[in-house]
Structure 1
């Protein structure tokens, strides 16, 4: 049924005879007046007098106070939701209180964002793009409101890479896929780790998209070879390396990880990129992509010169079984330990000996370049939103 937004007094109204509410509010909506033709009209589902689903998408502000985040995803989600009688509101943690939210509504037919106010949503999808925001008072207050009001919230937050390693190391079925990893704490421990494994990766525990990653190698003559996405530097010995790099490695949280030698395509390493969603009580694979390195061998991320390859070129029964297994195990375990995960992505590899390796789990996947995977993602999210808000 149609619902109308009156921007003059920032209220949602209707013209039906029955009592209607919107979102999590139990307060009835007002009736639209004779000027309803001048009001914004949106068609929503109705279930037992409640209109929705009303989905909140939590993001954050940029330094210039404009809204940050994946705008393309937000717009496409709105289009998908409106096809099925739902809407989404993009808002920041500062703009929620115990009664409602202030945010932005995307209108596909106008290709326009407008400011609106709504009652509290049926659920909130966490797309806050900056880790520091999840440490703020406003974020904690926002999540507390959702908890008190019993509003589903996913995903719970960014994942620290080292904390994830320690968590998965305790899982009987997942620990076998982990490269040995330690936190970078001091010169002696890092040197001992390098002496043991010879080739290691240094990774920031709180970064994404391959940012800040180095490969460190101990050569036969004692020379230390450091390789990043953009440069290669030889050091006479470990002490010289540490004197130059220790501020970087200890200034922010870093981990050191043994190199898991990757299988190659055309003499370049490749990774599996796996997208997964919670779907009707299970964790299922939404899409699988392959990323091959091209310009450098540190990462396979496309912004760093990686190349996209269709999974069908490498698809095997063994790969399918591993991916389905790890999605199920990871989704269940992470939700049990960290809070409900509605979606996540996985970076995994394969050694020349056929051993699978789990590199990383991302709680807030970016858009996939494969159009079919991204289309599947939108439908999976739509179904999940409707299910959790009880409009399925």
Structure 2
């Protein structure tokens, strides 16, 4: 990462910019930029300045720099780029400045505050804050432990944190994204929510990762489930576009009894029911659900803790060079009677050391890390757009074989409720800014090369 500089203002010549000598020896800088705004400037280097960039009030106003703050400037061609100016794109805003993004305000405040010492210019925005005529955005900044609204230029890079699939496919949202990304050439990360079936199709043809995939088929009719039940002890029926364990059904056939057992969650209650036929099970449990949007997946007998199945949340993130790193591995223990290990279904978060002895914990950690990195690299090659982070749900069976259950392009934060993962949380927030800066540089360099 570059060295951090403080932006301050002065009242001298209206286009004057004063920078320390160590920042550059070049006298060819003709422009100063903040976000997507760029203006001519007169540059002066001064050996009396240290880690300070002094900008005229006139330029500060023209560039829409909202306040004095910290940045990591870069020089691209003949331009001094202040920033990056990072926009976090989301939806679900309220009228309150105390909680402008509702329940997610605390999550965004933490992300911004963790990086304020490196970059004070990270903001949250939605479609309602965009002024296309002036090419500015009224965004929400978190500074001095409070939220403020400030008008800034279009950002140099955008982090996609739309809350759900329904919002993401809304026409107005798609229109805004396309315009900022295509017309203004602003790089975005992350891509849209992953579709389980699409990911399975992409990964099953890659030799390096195909062995991590449970057998998965699209639901066509009852025979689809029967065929997998004849081969495996149990199966999961999942929506292609589900999240948080929503509508995940476990079906097991007991051959001696001739009975189908089904575990599922209904109105925040874990249920176990038995049926004499698969048809009666489907009719009761799925009722009006459109089953053509579901997949059927081989059940895996997972490692257990206190008699409950365990899977593992593994996060991978890109760094300042765009390289993948494993940033956290957490064990998730299923709640009693639950089909999944999600916390909202009664699950618990543990460290590997709480589940296994030291030697086994290290072995499992290494196997999960290898799998997560290989799958991250594979998805990176095949999915359109820039991916900066992935949250994986991985399983380990009795033979310590690794299985991929799910990949999330916008991983949740629930595992960080466990204090053991606070340092991992900080690292992920740091890498968010590193990758945003990396994309910003690439975008600027591409723009210069095209001129």
| TM-score of the alignment, normalized to the shorter chain, above 0.5 | yes
Shift of 1:81: 2.7
Shift of 1:287: 1.1
Residues in 1 aligned to 2:133 and 2:182: alpha-carbon distance in whole angstroms: 11
Shift of 1:113: 2.2
Residues in 1 aligned to 2:143 and 2:300: alpha-carbon distance in whole angstroms: 46
Match of 1:363 in 2: 409
Match of 2:259 in 1: 223
Residues in 2 aligned to 1:130 and 1:288: alpha-carbon distance in whole angstroms: 24
Shift of 1:296: 2.6
Structure 2 matches for 1:1-392, cutoff 5 A?
1-2=6-7, 17-18=16-17, 20-27=32-39, 31-32=56-57, 41-45=67-71, 46-48=73-75, 49-61=80-92, 67=101, 70-93=104-127, 95-96=129-130, 97=132, 100-109=135-144, 111-144=145-178, 145-220=180-255, 221-229=257-265, 230-250=270-290, 253-279=293-319, 280-313=321-354, 314=356, 316-338=361-383, 339-367=385-413, 368-369=415-416, 370-390=421-441
In the superposition, relative to structure 1, how do residues 63 and 31 fare at CA in structure 2: closer, same or farther (>3 Å)? Answer: closer
Could you say what the CA RMSD is over the residues aligned between the two structures, in angstroms? 2.9
Shift of 1:276: 0.7
Show structure 1 runs of 5+ residues with no match. 5-13
Show structure 2 runs of 5+ residues with no match. 1-5, 18-30, 42-54, 443-451
User: Bigger shift: 43-52 or 163-172?
Assistant: 43-52
Shift of 1:199: 1.0
Match of 1:10 in 2: none
TM normalised by structure 2 equals: 0.76
Match of 2:52 in 1: none
Deviations 1:356-388 (A, max 9, x none): 111111100111323222111111112222232
- Tell me if the contact between 1:224 and 1:238 (Cα under 8 Å) persists in the aligned partners: yes
- Tell me if the contact between 1:60 and 1:69 (Cα under 8 Å) persists in the aligned partners: no
Q: Secondary structure at the match of 2:406?
A: strand
Residues in 2 aligned to 1:71 and 1:263: alpha-carbon distance in whole angstroms: 36
Shift of 1:105: 2.3
Shift of 1:129: 0.7
Residues in 1 aligned to 2:197 and 2:389: alpha-carbon distance in whole angstroms: 20
Deviations 1:239-289 (A, max 9, x none): 222332454542672211111100112222111111111122421111111
User: Bigger shift: 119-128 or 265-274?
Assistant: 265-274
Residues in 1 aligned to 2:228 and 2:137: alpha-carbon distance in whole angstroms: 51
In the superposition, relative to structure 1, how do residues 261 and 25 fare at CA in structure 2: closer, same or farther (>3 Å)? Answer: same
TM normalised by structure 1 equals: 0.86
Shift of 1:120: 1.4
